[in-house]
A = this chain, B = another copy of it.
Amino acid sequence: MSDPDPLDFNDQVRLAEALVFASTTPVSDRALTLALPNGADIEAVIAELRARTTNRGVVLAQIAGGWQFRTAEDLAPRLKRVIKVPRRLPRAAMETLAIIAYHQPVTRAEVEEIRGAALSQATLDALLDANMITPQGRRETPGRPTMWGTTPAFLAHFGLADLRDLPRREDLLVEPPPVPLPEEPIPPA
């Protein structure tokens, strides 16, 4: 096989760059495939694009099953001074979000049981307003309660390519200094 025409390849990278740039949401490989000429090597195009933006003010990131340009992490403190940023989610909302992320699809009653506290309207509103959670059907149990799950915007917000990027539950329980956990909990004395 002959090497691809370097001019063509450059053109493909430019097109991919423009496509990802123009969009405010992550662009999937599928969308790139549709945009680029037949037979284009998406992986090579992305690798080149990534190389070109390395160490720049705006970098390419793999987010929520797609590609997105976002400002470089180290610039955050300097940008904070000039760009108005929204408030962070309060603690109760963050904990509820973590529970939904790990246990989805999960009902409100289950979230409340894990937290050992009622879920307030303010928390539910904050998570819905921030587009972090969405209804995911109903559970086929008496009362058919609504089940909740996280949105693609949740992944994008926290810079996750995938739900599998969340740390494993077992790893979360390790507190510094890490103590190896036995297989079975030891009954209390």
> Quick check: is A40 within 8 A (CB to CB) of the other chain?
no
Complex alpha-carbon distance, A164 and B144, angstroms: 9
Tell me which residues from 6 to 43 in chain A have a Cβ below 8 Å from any Cβ of chain B: 13-19, 21-23, 31, 34-35
Question: Who on chain B is nearest to A175 by CB?
Answer: B121
> Quick check: is A81 within 8 A (CB to CB) of the other chain?
yes
Cβ B82 vs Cβ A35 within 8 A: yes
Report the minimal beta-carbon distance from A77 to chain B, rounded to whole angstroms: 11
As for how many copies of this chain the complex holds, the number is 2
- Enumerate chain B residues within 8 angstroms of A82, measured Cβ to Cβ: 19, 31, 34-35
Q: Which one of B13, B72, B146, B166 lies within 8 Å of A57 (CB-CB)?
A: B13
Query: How many chain A residues touch B (Cβ–Cβ < 8 Å)?
Result: 50
Report the minimal beta-carbon distance from A59 to chain B, rounded to whole angstroms: 9
Q: Which one of B13, B83, B135, B137 lies within 8 Å of A19 (CB-CB)?
A: B83
> Quick check: is A79 within 8 A (CB to CB) of the other chain?
yes
The 10 closest A-B pairs by CB, nearest first: A17-B57, A14-B57, A18-B57, A146-B171, A18-B71, A146-B167, A135-B167, A35-B82, A121-B174, A18-B75
Which A residues are closer than 8 A to B by beta carbons? Answer: 13-19, 21-23, 31, 34-35, 52, 55-58, 69, 71-72, 75, 78-79, 81-83, 107-108, 119-121, 124, 135, 137-138, 143-146, 164-168, 171-175
